[in-house]
Structure 1
Amino acid sequence: MNRLELFTDLLRNRTAALGLCLIAGIVAVALAGPALAPYDPLVPAPLDRLQPPSAQHLFGTDSLGRDILSRVIHGSRLSLLIGIISVTISLVPGTVLGLLAGYFGDPLDSIIMRVMDVLLAFPAVLLAIFITAILGPSLPNTMIAVGIVYIPHYARIVRSNVLSLKQQLFVQAIRHLGGSHARVILLHILPNTFAPIIVYATLGMGTAVLQAAALGFLGLGAQPPQPEWGAMLSEGRQYIQMAPHVAGFPGLAILLLVLGFNLFGDGLRDVLDPSLRSR
């Protein structure tokens, strides 16, 4: 399947198309953030604190009088950055470890996978909290923590595909013809694992944003006054009854971004999976 056919099939898939539209919309808002934001997201206005949505402040204002719409717009950049960097931190080492474990087998396979099993034994949120507590609460440390938590997931996915691929005739033929391990792994096995990696990475973007928002909500992620959606939720929870918009709009932004990545990942899986395509 070439790129044009893949893109056409994605547009025909309603789930993928809807997810792609949501992602594209948020990316466009993030790129045009300074031009779209009507106010400075960091400058307080005490006289306008906790104002409801109005023509002057479409999303209302927070406890310090800052415009919530401007903070949500600027927060979209942080959330996308968190997703991209966290997934990269998970994907690269996870793919390398999965390739090595699946291709070379025991004893390397047992060592790598037992370490991955230990990481998987901890709930993802608790492990991320533990790592962030050690490194210190900050946005970069949040991305590192979320990335480390999901390394075992990529390692297991890649390993399972490598175990199947290395038994294929074309791989065995290349090895019998004198192909080096590096050539077999990089040129023949790795390209055939791209489809599941891409699908899981797309779904992982939504998961990473959600995990980072959870850490921000707990005060372990981005620190004030950064307009990060999870931190904004945490700031607004004490005003949930008198001013529900303070937490409502950041929560809605998280919902739309995570939903977009999940829908796009599901649709991408349907397009790339031959059995689902034929069905």
Structure 2
Amino acid sequence: MNNPKLRAGLFFLRRIVWLILTFLVMTTIIFALMQTWASAPARMPISEQPIWRQYIQYLGGMLRGDFGPSMRAGQPVIEMIGRSLPSTLRLLGLAALAGMALSALIVLAGVLALGLRDRAPVPGAILQRLGQVGVALGMAAPAFVLGLYLLYLFALKLEWLPVGGWVELGAERGFSLRHALLPTLTLAILPAGLAARSVLGEIVHYRAGGGNRGLLALHAVLSFFQHGLIQAIGMLGGALLVEMVFSLPGIGRLLAQSIMTRDYFVVRGLANLFLLLALLLRAAADLAQGIDGFILPSLQAAAPEAKAPATAQVLRRVWIGICLLLVVVPFAQGISGFITGGDEIARLNAADRNLPPGSESTDGDVYAWGTDSLGRDIRARARYALGVNLGSSLLTALVALLLALPGGLLAGYLAQRGAVWADLVGDVVMFPVEALTALPGLILLAFILAVTGPGLGSLLIWLTLAFLLPRSMRMVRDWWMMAAPEKSLWLRLAGISLGVLVFGVGAAVVTQPVMGFLGLGIQPPQPDVGAILGEGMRFMRMSPQAVLRPARALLFAALGWFLLADALLSEFGLHTRKAWLELNR
């Protein structure tokens, strides 16, 4: 039965069922993980009640807003959340408004660039590549790295804005907005770029068909809101990092502090709160997608495959070569640092503590990037850490791809069938990975690592299973649906596999330092770029380059992978309309 209107109508029922099942599954997972954490030695007494009764009490307490008392402060968790939540909601609201405005400007500029490309292919292609580089830069810079750069430029160097803190809105409204500006921009830039990139992809995809322009405009508006709401889910995870960088008293910072102090009930309460907020945002995004489902059949019927001119094909291959160079050079530097830096990373020299870049050691050596608070060479430690990061990211992305291919290809095949029964079976196939992405990726990964324990082994396992695998499987499904059927099976598989693998490496390169910044990644004495930056924040006034140079190295280590993924997908004729949204959700 292939009835587009019926399928669009049933979409709402399917999503309601999905929301209910996801809530039950994820609350069960949170409960099970927290029971594991609670049963560890010296954590908290284990209840003698049957496990099913504990679960019922847990659900009932959550629905009543009763998360129990804090194990550290002794206060009700709901009161602690109530004091911190307004700050986070204010930050999210300001970031959402700024992100919508910025995203709309990017879409407008992109539409103008598309018009230029039709009349002048070479200048238009150059502008298109510049836009892709801008989005890739945002993807390659985790929120805490972007925040550090903005903090250095506008607060420390130019002294235009405050360094951090949060002043309540009220009598000193202007002063408060000055405090809010840097955190708001830090949180808004990446979601705005990703949402705009996806909306522009939709416009490019359907614009070639010459269909109804009014329907195309309505589809673009609905896509804008849908992608924006999905990115708002990712903002919940970004708020965790932004609040730490700018010392804001929100629930993200409360979660990080509670993980470090092993406060069981606070962590569990915050995990449930993040889940509820994410499901509400997802329900709103599903509403926009469901309405859009009544429009898409008309547009899809008028969307033939556009063939790129010969000049554009040549420029595309040149661009792939440039992207490969941007991947190979940082990768070689990282591996070289890993091979040669084994002796340097642990060398301590109390006389050389907190030296600025270019300083000489007491032994006559030069510290190109300066030293940390223990007198260790920051450059040697950062390059060693990037070598570990790049090598392990390639491994985790490859494993995630191999695990994602069977289910993703099956789900993509079912989606191509265009029938109600295929939609239902596809929902069953994709439910495990869809449920895992109900929580923001960074929140879920931090929560799991808090329970299972930090360290490289634990990080790589859960980075693969809980972060990369769901996103890889969804990308395989979406790209199989979009692949041109006239191309050979092996060519389509090769394009999809390369795209997912390269994107996965970039995502892993960015995510590992985030966990290190939170203290949940590689543990001392082994170096981690995120941990290096977290420690360097304390001395940023005295030696900012000791923070900015490792941050720049991380940025360029990830940038080439995202650019190469985009270029390869374009070469294989795979549209990237929604792919980049996977990074920030």
Q: TM-score, normalised by structure 1?
A: 0.77
Matched, 1:91 2:401: yes
CA distance in 2, matches of 1:120, 1:24: 31
Q: What one-letter code is carried by the residue in structure 1 that aligns with 2:435?
A: V
Greater RCO (CA < 8 Å, at least 6 residues apart): 1
Matched, 1:120 2:430: no
* Equivalent pair of 1:162/1:189 in contact (CA under 8 Å): no
* Equivalent pair of 2:480/2:496 in contact (CA under 8 Å): no
The alpha-carbon deviation at position 119 of structure 1 amounts to: 1.4
Question: Which of 503, 507, 513 matches 1:203?
Answer: 503
Question: Which of 6, 18, 32 matches 2:336?
Answer: 32
Aligned position for 1:144: 461
CA distance in 1, matches of 2:399, 2:574: 29
Change (3 A) 1:161 1:275: closer
* Equivalent pair of 1:88/1:147 in contact (CA under 8 Å): no
Q: What one-letter code is carried by the residue in structure 1 that aligns with 2:408?
A: G
Unaligned runs of 5+ in 1: 1-7, 171-187
Aligned position for 1:45: 349
Change (3 A) 1:169 1:237: closer
* Equivalent pair of 2:401/2:500 in contact (CA under 8 Å): no
Q: Could you report, residue by residue, the CA deviation over 1:48-84 in whole angstroms, capped at 9, with x for unpaired residues?
A: 0111111611111111111111112211211112311
Q: What one-letter code is carried by the residue in structure 1 that aligns with 2:498?
A: I
Matched, 1:154 2:475: no
Aligned position for 1:183: none
The alpha-carbon deviation at position 168 of structure 1 amounts to: 6.1
Q: What one-letter code is carried by the residue in structure 1 that aligns with 2:333?
A: V
Q: TM-score, normalised by structure 2?
A: 0.39
Q: Could you report, residue by residue, the CA deviation over 1:83-110 in whole angstroms, capped at 9, with x for unpaired residues?
A: 1122123212211222344457576533
CA distance in 2, matches of 1:36, 1:154: 33
Q: What one-letter code is carried by the residue in structure 2 that aligns with 1:98?
A: G
Unaligned runs of 5+ in 2: 1-312, 361-365, 415-421, 577-585
Q: What one-letter code is carried by the residue in structure 1 that aligns with 2:552?
A: L
Question: Which of 447, 451, 468 matches 1:134?
Answer: 451
* Equivalent pair of 1:39/1:67 in contact (CA under 8 Å): no
Question: Which of 282, 293, 318 matches 1:13?
Answer: 318
Aligned position for 2:377: 67
The alpha-carbon deviation at position 261 of structure 1 amounts to: 1.1
Q: Could you report, residue by residue, the CA deviation over 1:107-137 in whole angstroms, capped at 9, with x for unpaired residues?
A: 6533221222211211111111122122211
Answer with 1 or 2: which has the greater Rg. Answer: 2
Question: Which shifted more, 192-201 or 127-136?
Answer: 192-201
Aligned position for 1:180: none
Matched, 1:257 2:557: yes
Q: What one-letter code is carried by the residue in structure 2 that aligns with 1:231?
A: A
* Equivalent pair of 1:138/1:221 in contact (CA under 8 Å): yes
* Equivalent pair of 1:37/1:69 in contact (CA under 8 Å): no
Change (3 A) 1:11 1:28: farther
Change (3 A) 1:132 1:200: same
Change (3 A) 1:244 1:219: same
Question: Which shifted more, 153-162 or 90-99?
Answer: 153-162
Question: Which of 79, 84, 91 matches 2:389?
Answer: 79
* Equivalent pair of 1:13/1:267 in contact (CA under 8 Å): no
CA distance in 2, matches of 1:35, 1:114: 42
Residues 196-235 of structure 1 aligned to structure 2 (within 5 Å): 196-235=496-535
Q: Could you report, residue by residue, the CA deviation over 1:21-74 in whole angstroms, capped at 9, with x for unpaired residues?
A: 232112222333367559611111110011111161111111111111111221
* Equivalent pair of 1:203/1:261 in contact (CA under 8 Å): yes
CA distance in 1, matches of 2:494, 2:539: 46
CA distance in 2, matches of 1:164, 1:12: 21
Matched, 1:236 2:536: yes
Percent of residue pairs bearing the same amino acid type? 30
